[in-house]
Amino acid sequence: MKRRIKRIIIDLVGVLFILIGIAGLVLPFLQGILFIIIGMYFLSLHSEWFRRKVQKLKTRLPRLGGFIDGMDVKVRKFLNLPL
């Protein structure tokens, strides 16, 4: 039960970040792409499709890949997920 609640929360956070990112594409004071990438990362923790898209981004943009890898370690430690 606890695992299921954690998964739902992670997915909701991912969707929330993507929605904020979409709003940020229109609003001048938000970095929309950054929020979309963070949302994709959270959704990639449980979705193979998002995992492939994030991996493609990491290989295409190596500096962004370093940011995602660093964020991955911190998030997995915080959520007690396997590294």
Every domain of the chain and the residues it spans: 2-78
* pLDDT mean over 37-52: 91
Q: What is the pLDDT of residue 80?
A: 82
CB 76 within 8 A of CB 82: yes
Answer for the pair 73, 83: CB distance below 8 angstroms, yes or no: yes
Average pLDDT over residues 29-41: 88
Q: Give yes or no for residue 1 having a pLDDT over 80.
A: no
pLDDT interval class at 79 (50, 70, 90):
confident
What pLDDT band is residue 13 in, cutting at 50, 70 and 90?
Answer: very high
Sequence-separated (6 or more) residues with CB below 8 Å from residue 52: none
The first and second tokens of residue 31, run together, are: 């970095």
State both tokens at 36: 């979309």
